[in-house]
Amino acid sequence: MKKTVTDDPNRHASAGDISYPVWDVHTHTTLAPGTYESLARFTHYADFVRVRAHQSKSCCAEIINAHGEILRVISDNAFDARTRQAECAAHGVSMQVISPTPMMIPDYVDSAVDAAEICRILNDGNAAIVAEFPERFTALGALPMMFADLAIAELQRIRDLGMRGVEINSNIDGLDLDDPRFYPIFQAAAESDLATFIHPWGGFMSPAEERLNRRMHAGRNWRPWLLGMGLETALAFDAMRCGGVHERLPNLRVMYAHGGGAFPALLGRLEHGAYCRPDLFRNSSRTTPYETVQSYGVYADALTHDPWVLDMLIHLLGASRVAMGSDYPYPLGEIDPLSLDISDPDYQSRPARGIYPGHMIKHLPESPDDMETAWQHFHWLARDTADGPRHLPLLTASQKKQLLSETAKEWLRWK
């Protein structure tokens, strides 16, 4: 059920009387299968993963852990530039910001030399994708965060390669992001005018405590990804805020993945808690949560999967701090899995929703008169609540343009 592919790189979305490109700030890549054998030297690290060609499907590959077990089957759009560029054209994406799949960032590696080398391999792979299609892709780099000097050196190297920022995980091998050893890296990013993308990984997604790990039900209902990720992102924001990283580095531009995770919904609770119990915040920044998001470089992608949550995020941050992100090419992203030629009968038995990158933004109404037409694009959502019919949020044409392209350019300092 793959969608028809058009290779027109100038395909734009439109809203009202304006036409503009669509930038996707949240997309991931993996290592290519061709690196599989050469990376065997890192398999003594329990959390190391690499990619090998699929045993029977030429269009697919397998993410393999250090024990040789298959963690995930992926399509070649995760690592092949030509496949990826064709799908961008098919889905109307003008520019993708590519970053490594979070599990591949070597936060767990205890050798400075190995951590730096793995990051170089990841970054050189993404640099090659950008070099092949520079009008379609730009990149964020991985850093060996546990080794500040080497991380800063790699930061400068990827800047020289033309990368626009860095991607880091929500915690670094169990350490909060306000740990003093990471501050020089954030400072270097701010001074180099590089964007920072914080993506959830580890922590509450895979807790070390046995009972809590069982409660995450990793093999049953996807709880680590559906709930753990949101909590991890909220913890990352809390660390960056309480630790004063945003306050001390006002020029640091940080985008929090998946609509900011849980922190936008919890911002009032964070604010009220500090007011009620100032004694518990003696060692924290004096800047309140609301002041932090209003005054410093706090951004979020628009990947909320819900129009009313997106509306809340825009009210909180403003359209100039929210950018379209799809989580391409993974199934939790804003893209209909049925368009990715998934052969699993469980997928094929479900009706297509017609979701593609930017769907939530492009099809929200611009006026009450557009409401009925807009609902046709959100046919899987209930239109009635216990209080009666509900309306979709309204976005102006200028807000759509901001969300779909302009915020991304501003965050990346794209000239």
CATH of the domain at 271: 3.20.20.140
Domain membership of residue 263 (yes or no) is yes
pLDDT averaged over the chain? 92
pLDDT value of residue 354 = 84
Percent of the chain with pLDDT over 90: 84
Question: Is there a domain that residue 56 lies in?
Answer: no
Q: Is residue 6 part of a domain?
A: no
In a domain, 72, yes or no: no
The answer to whether residue 3 is domain-embedded is no
The per-residue pLDDT for 345 is 60
pLDDT tens digit sequence for 4-37:
333 333 344 444 434 678 999 999 999 999 999 9
Range of the domain at 236: 13-30+79-412
pLDDT number for residue 8: 37
- Is 180 within a domain? yes
Find out whether 409 and 308 touch, Cβ atoms under 8 Å.
no
Give the C-alpha separation, 23 to 376, whole Å.
24
Q: pLDDT at position 232, please?
A: 98
Query: Does a structural domain hold residue 57?
Result: no
404/347: higher pLDDT: 404
Q: Does position 407 have pLDDT exceeding 90, yes or no?
A: yes
Please give the residue that has the higher pLDDT: either 345 or 247: 247
Residue type, 73: V
For the segment 202-253, what is each residue's pLDDT rounded down to a tens digit? Answer: 999 999 899 999 898 888 888 999 999 999 999 999 999 999 999 999 999 9
Percentage of residues in the chain having pLDDT higher than 70: 92
pLDDT tens profile 154-179:
999 999 999 999 999 999 999 999 99
Question: Global pTM?
Answer: 0.93
HEC readout, the chain = CCCCCCCCCCCCEEECCEEECCEEEEEEECCCHHHCHHHHHHCCCCCCCEEEECCCCCCEEEEECCCCCEEEEEEHHHCCHHHHHHHHHHCCCCEEEEEECHHHCCCCCCCHHHHHHHHHHHHHHHHHHHHHCCCCEEEEECCCCCCHHHHHHHHHHHHHCCCCEEEEECCECCECCCCHHHHHHHHHHHHCCCEEEEECCCHHHCCCCHHHHHHCCCCCCCHHHHHHHHHHHHHHHHHHHHCCHHHHCCCCCEEECHHHCCHHHHHHHHHHHHHHCHHHHCCCCCCCHHHHHHHCCEEEECCCCCHHHHHHHHHHHCHHHEECCCCECCCCCCCCHHHHCCCCHHHHCCCCCCCCCCHHHHCCCCCHHHHHHHHHHHCCCCCEECCEECCCCCCCHHHHHHHHHHHHHHHHCCC
Q: Is the pLDDT score of 44 beyond 70?
A: yes
Rg (CA), the chain: 21
Residue 339 domain-assigned (yes or no) = yes
Indicate if the pLDDT at residue 145 is higher than 80: yes
Give the pLDDT confidence of 269-289 residue by residue, as tens digits: 999 999 999 999 998 998 999
Domain count, the chain: 1
